[in-house]
Structure 1
Amino acid sequence: MNIKQAAEQSGVSARNIRYYEQAGLLTPARNPENEYRVYSQEDVRALKLIRMLRTLDMPVEEIGTVLNGTLPLTEAAERQRQRLEAEQQKLAAAAAFCTELAASDRTAAELDVDSCLERMASPAPAGGWFTGWVQDYRKMAAAEHKRQFTFTPDTAIATPQEFTAELLAWAAGCGEEIVITHEGMTPRFMLDGIEYRAVRYASHVRNIPILRVRCEVCDPSALAAEGDPKRLRVQRFLHYGLPVLVCLALAVVWVCTRNMPLWPDKAAMLLALGALGIGYGFRGWYLYYNDRDQ
């Protein structure tokens, strides 16, 4: 098809198609007889994808890295989300300043321009400390959920081939696409452009064998959350440790309300419940965190 037909099918103007070709986002074939561009259905689909991402205001350079596979779409979408959130905060601050100007009932001659420019150069953060803390926590939690996850296999996984089959079956059931990069009893695979390592764990609950597969990213820096390191450490501790802390607090309340000597009975009971809670908390985090079972 020619450029006019490609424009009609993709919804991208012929002028923009030429621009995307110059930017390296699209390389249509050429007719050997007259050197005219010949567009395929794959080119039309690429144009539709470009149109979608440009509607999200994603930079053209970044769209090019998505199209050539250098940058995973998920990572590009996360970067754009952060940019849009920053822009949203700027627009909210600008709208609030416009509201203040409209309500001040001052003329342009009466306005203290220097003061206004100083305020606009260093605006107060939107939402305050709590909003920023919550946003950072959400980013950290999203990164942790990508960093590791678990699922229950259907077979005992006695051979590397069975392990590969279980990983592929899990991916198909979740609608994910993975590529096995290394077979074995600790196989590796690529998911959304990130390499993971899978490990098989067996445990027993009331003499019933339970098999789990734990998948963890090979390079943690690939999913490192940005932010203040101290704040991230506190948030990570709360993310993983809050359920255990709540159980321990309930255990303390229960023990302290029992009619027994303070020492050594209550202390021994607290130590036992504390060790049990920490043990089960660790087991839950290691084998059941971010469960991907369908």
Structure 2
Amino acid sequence: MNIKLASERSGVSSRNIRYYEQAGLLHPDRDPENDYRIYTEEDIRTLKLIRTLRMLDMPLEEIRDVLAGSLPLPEAAARQQERLQARARELDSAIRFCGELRQRSVTAAALDVDACLTRIAADNSKGWFSGWADDYRAMARAQQRRHFTFTPDGPVTTPAEFTDALFAFAKEQKLELVVTQEGMQPHFTIDGVEYRAARAYYPVRGIPTARIRCTLCDPDFAEDGLPPARRKLLELLHYSMPALCLVAVGLLFLIPRGLLTTWWGIALLIAFAAAGVSSSWYNRRFFYNDKDNQPFHGKRR
């Protein structure tokens, strides 16, 4: 059947069907005569399953793992249940507080806003931090899919060498990689999802060494299902750790000696902070989500 009929049978729009194909969730056959997609009954069932899990607000990354068989459905459901329960606690608290405000005969001008903020913070503290470990893992998986780096074995000075480096990486990680645009900023696909790559050099023992950074072209393919505020907090913690550690070292050195009261002590702390920020940026760009020593979280051949 064609995509129009598949959309009618599954209840999934044609646009979303194409989106799921690009994201690697659906792999329909093609007509050898005209290269049109041919959807089978099994494809319809897969679309209905995707639709079911999306209605549960399950992240696209976990749905992909469920369909690939690398994540058991009960485990995926348990993770999503924890996330939904955390959101439900936050919403229940907000609903109760709205009810209290409704029952009070108080104007906005007379409302004790400090007391309100303290109450809301206390009610939400458990819901905000519950399940943070699962949320952190979901954020980290999405970040690893959104961009990753690796170090090629040889120099990357020409488009041909760049292409060879990408194919060597794909062979090592056992990935289906297709180069769609060659150059010094090539584009390629992994499981039908498009990435772009850039090369940079950094010194290792005084020797310039190439490092390739690959970035997802459409960030929607790295969905993690987290509330935006929580995602930003976890990303901040994830990437700012080197800076926080260096500032902590600076404080531990300066405070016991009473040096924070001197101008040069403050200057030294600022230098620690600047070095930490620089280190965080450098590591985020070139070393976080490094695929040299860990497997790529993608579909294997």
TM bracket, shorter-chain basis: 0.5 to 0.7
Q: CA deviation at 1:139?
A: 1.3
Contact 1:198–1:215 (8 Å) recurs in 2: yes
**CA offsets, 1:245-282, max 9 Å, x none?**
12211221112234657221101111111111211221
Distance across 2 between alignment mates of 1:128 and 1:285: 29
Equivalent position of 2:136 in the other structure: 137
Distance across 2 between alignment mates of 1:87 and 1:221: 19
Equivalent position of 1:244 in the other structure: 243
Query: Aligned letter for 2:246?
Result: C
Distance 1:282 1:81, change over 3 A: farther
Query: Aligned letter for 2:130?
Result: T
Q: CA deviation at 1:221?
A: 1.9
Distance across 1 between alignment mates of 2:80 and 2:231: 24
Question: What is the percent sequence identity of the aligned residues?
Answer: 36
Distance 1:87 1:292, change over 3 A: closer
Query: Runs of 5+ in structure 2 lacking a partner?
Result: 1-8, 11-25, 29-39, 51-59, 68-72, 83-125, 294-301
Distance across 2 between alignment mates of 1:158 and 1:137: 37
Equivalent position of 1:201 in the other structure: 200
Distance 1:281 1:86, change over 3 A: closer
User: Would you say 1:77 and 2:69 are equivalent positions?
Assistant: no
Equivalent position of 1:159 in the other structure: 158
User: Would you say 1:282 and 2:281 are equivalent positions?
Assistant: yes
Q: CA deviation at 1:206?
A: 4.7
Distance 1:269 1:81, change over 3 A: farther
Equivalent position of 1:256 in the other structure: 255
Q: CA deviation at 1:199?
A: 0.5
2:194 is paired with a residue whose SS is strand
Which structure has more RCO (C-alpha within 8 Å, separation ≥ 6)?
2
Query: Aligned letter for 1:153?
Result: P
Contact 2:260–2:266 (8 Å) recurs in 1: no
TM-score (norm 2): 0.57
Q: How many residues align?
A: 202
Q: CA deviation at 1:223?
A: 1.0
Equivalent position of 2:213 in the other structure: 214
Q: CA deviation at 1:159?
A: 1.0
Distance across 2 between alignment mates of 1:276 and 1:262: 21
Contact 1:74–1:192 (8 Å) recurs in 2: no
Distance 1:261 1:168, change over 3 A: closer
Distance across 2 between alignment mates of 1:248 and 1:219: 35
Contact 2:151–2:292 (8 Å) recurs in 1: yes
Q: CA deviation at 1:201?
A: 0.2
User: Would you say 1:226 and 2:214 are equivalent positions?
Assistant: no
Equivalent position of 2:296 in the other structure: none
Contact 1:148–1:290 (8 Å) recurs in 2: yes
2:185 is paired with a residue whose SS is coil
Q: CA deviation at 1:87?
A: 8.1
Equivalent position of 1:192 in the other structure: 191
Query: Aligned letter for 2:65?
Result: A
Distance across 2 between alignment mates of 1:196 and 1:225: 18
1:157 is paired with a residue whose SS is coil
Equivalent position of 1:121 in the other structure: none
Equivalent position of 1:115 in the other structure: none
Q: CA deviation at 1:132?
A: 3.0
2:130 is paired with a residue whose SS is helix
Query: Aligned letter for 1:210?
Result: T
Query: Runs of 5+ in structure 1 lacking a partner?
Result: 1-22, 28-45, 51-57, 64-71, 90-126
Distance across 2 between alignment mates of 1:211 and 1:76: 32
Q: CA deviation at 1:75?
A: 4.5
Distance across 2 between alignment mates of 1:155 and 1:139: 33
Name whichever of 154-163 and 75-84 sits farther off: 75-84
Q: CA deviation at 1:130?
A: 3.5
Contact 2:194–2:216 (8 Å) recurs in 1: yes
Q: CA deviation at 1:204?
A: 2.1
